Amino acid sequence: MHLNLLTNIQYEQMAALFDLILCAFLVFDETEAKEDSSRWFTSYLYFVTIANGVEILAVIFSSQGFPVSPAIKMAITSISFFMNNLVFWQFFNYIEASAKERSTFVNRIIGVNRILLAAEVFLLLTNLFLHNAFYFSNQLEYNRGPYFAAVAFLLPMYFIVVALVLVKRNNQRMGRRKVASILVASVLNMVGLILQIFFHGTLLMALPFASLGIFVLYFAVESPDYRQLESTLHELSEAKQTAEEASKSKDVFMSQISHEVRTPMNSIMGLTDMILQEMQGKDQLTPAEFSKVYQYLHGISNSGHQLIYIVDNIQNYITTIPAEETEEAPVEGTVYRMGGEQMELQTPEAHFLVVDDNEMNLFVAKKLLSKTGARVTTCTGGLECLRALTKEKFDLVFLDYMMPDMDGIDVMERTRKMVGNLNENTPFVMVTANTVAGMEARALEAGFADFISKPISWDRLYMVLSAHLPNSQMEVQKEDGDYQIQSASDTAAPMELFDTATGMEYCLNDKDFYRETLEVFGQEHDAKAAEIATYYEAADWKLFTVRVHGLKSTARTVGALKLSELAKELEMAGKKLQENSHDEETLTFVREKLPELYDLYQRTVAAIAQLKL
């Protein structure tokens, strides 16, 4: 039997041989393909190999002299065209798996691809009867119809183009080597399709060029050796990330423990100094003096119990560090003293600038520094601070380290380049709860004149003011104030909502200061609760986290420890949702806890009126 082939298939035959060899390599490859892209590459190779074989059969069946009916020739040729389209669809799937983009855009493209493939099947089936794409004449000659380009070229070209769009969108994630090899394979696929158009079907080039592209991909990024290397590098990267996270957890843990331990220690030391001052040169005490000393001793006892509790629970802190980020210090950006002042410093001519993103913290800081007689200006963020520095001259700037728009070091760096800065020679003091090794050195290296860790003792604040204010602005005098440590048992406040001892401690044991702080806390309720609700409804987890973090800090400042703890739980949940907004377990937790927060917040504010100080 003599066959008169209508198409030259020598390139197809060579491509089929090479494809079979490559398939054999993959079959006997014992390296497990961990990536989805590697599995899609194997599928892509198998489809190219099968499509090559089907196309060779279609050419043979379609040749003049082959003893089959036109209907069979139509059927095998239709299958060949469909297989060709599936090859380039598999090429897109391989690129999509390599890009690892999970978005609505990709899902829509995948949906469109399926619709177009279904349309291709419909067109090929109707072509069997309507002959609108291709057909064989009664003389068994091959002819093209008006929809031939749609069946043979347009859909494969579409798959290549949308694959390149994904490469463009995800080139950084995919890496230079993979992007380059995919681009080469895409160009080869396009060239093969275009050449086949120009040769009008007398020479089949699309699949041979697709096979060349497969070999490029295999030797560049899909060989077992390269996959093993990539897997090893990935494991090393994960190990490095784990080590960095462990180091970060250690630093945060040490910062937390440093803060928690030093708070009661400062109280113990300060109150002890006050007792020594009270007893100095006296053999006996008056009833009033005895009452004062008794209150100091009561405060020391409370602080001692708090310290023992912290030490007993250090192991719990350690075991929970790997599971989630640890908590920041309770009151960020607040400069306060912890009892034991023996000298009062007056700076009536000084002008201080305090920068913090939390309004209540600013109120507390302003109240504290105002006790020195100084004028205090406040800013709620780094950008506002930069503007203030161009409008007024300050004697000292207290700058919080952690702020949402920019941190304290960023602000310091910008002041150096800022035009119109009136405070080029003004000392800047970093205020932070982060007391881990290296933080102070980092602050001084960035240009800060001094560093204050929280909580701060009066001695430390005295040293900072004395070191950076001229003598002409300072007056030092004995302090006659009657400081009291008021425990929860001294007040009729609802015990389950307030720890007034903690609130008084944060407010320097000053009743008026504490009352004003509580008043500000109550006034903020409606606005703060509304903001939290707004950001929750908008699923803006970054701002949601910032707001519950602020509530956690301010609640602790006034002694609303239960509210502070609940806000802390929601803050940690918000951080998780920033990393994965589809975490159903965390979303459910927030959904259940948020009404509890609103209720507790409202009851806490309502209880302020019942406090008796």
Closest among 545, 553, 554 to 594, alpha carbons compared: 545
Residue-level pLDDT at 222: 82
pLDDT grade for 340, boundaries at 50, 70 and 90: very low
What is the Cα gyration radius of the chain?
37
Q: What is d(CA 407, CA 401) in angstroms, rounded to the nearest whole number?
A: 5
CB 278 within 8 A of CB 465: no
To the nearest whole percent, how much of the chain has pLDDT over 90?
18
Residue-level pLDDT at 464: 81
Kindly list the distances between the CA atom of residue 37 and the CA atoms of 42, 95, 221, 540, in Å, as whole numbers in the listed order.
9, 7, 10, 33
What is the identity of the amino acid at 157?
A: M
Closest among 342, 450, 318, 454 to 396, alpha carbons compared: 450
pLDDT grade for 122, boundaries at 50, 70 and 90: very high
pLDDT(248) > 80: no
493-540: pLDDT as tens digits: 455 688 888 778 777 677 888 888 888 888 888 888 888 989 898 888
State the CB neighbour count (10 A cutoff) for residue 371.
Answer: 15
pTM of the predicted structure, to 2 decimals? 0.44
Residue-level pLDDT at 328: 42
Alpha-helix runs per DSSP H in 131-223? 148-149, 155-169, 171-174, 176-198, 206-217
To the nearest whole percent, how much of the chain has pLDDT over 70?
73
Token pair recorded at residue 379: 């800013």
CATH of domain 10-222: 1.20.1070
pLDDT(383) > 70: yes
Residue-level pLDDT at 95: 92
84-103: pLDDT as tens digits: 999 999 999 999 988 888 78
301-331: pLDDT as tens digits: 666 655 665 665 554 445 444 444 444 433 3
Residue 269 CB contacts under 8 Å (≥ 6 apart), including other chains: 340, 457
398 three-state secondary structure: strand
Residue-level pLDDT at 1: 45
438-483: pLDDT as tens digits: 778 888 888 898 888 755 555 566 778 777 888 777 776 544 444 4
Strands 428-432 and 343-346: unpaired
pLDDT(279) > 50: yes
- CA-CA-CA-CA torsion sign (453, 458, 459, 464): positive
Residue 191 CB contacts under 8 Å (≥ 6 apart), including other chains: 205, 209
Phi (first) and psi of residue 484, to 5 degrees: -130, 140
pLDDT grade for 11, boundaries at 50, 70 and 90: confident
**Domain residue spans of the chain:** 10-222, 343-481, 484-613
Residue-level pLDDT at 131: 86
- What element of type H or E holds 478? strand 475-478
Q: What is d(CA 455, CA 467) in angstroms, rounded to the nearest whole number?
A: 19
CATH of domain 343-481: 3.40.50.2300
Say which residue, 466 or 169, is predicted with more confidence: 169
Residue 458 CB contacts under 8 Å (≥ 6 apart), including other chains: 270, 337, 338, 340, 341
Q: Which fold has domain 484-613?
A: Four Helix Bundle (Hemerythrin (Met), subunit A) (1.20.120)
Say which residue, 368 or 187, is predicted with more confidence: 187
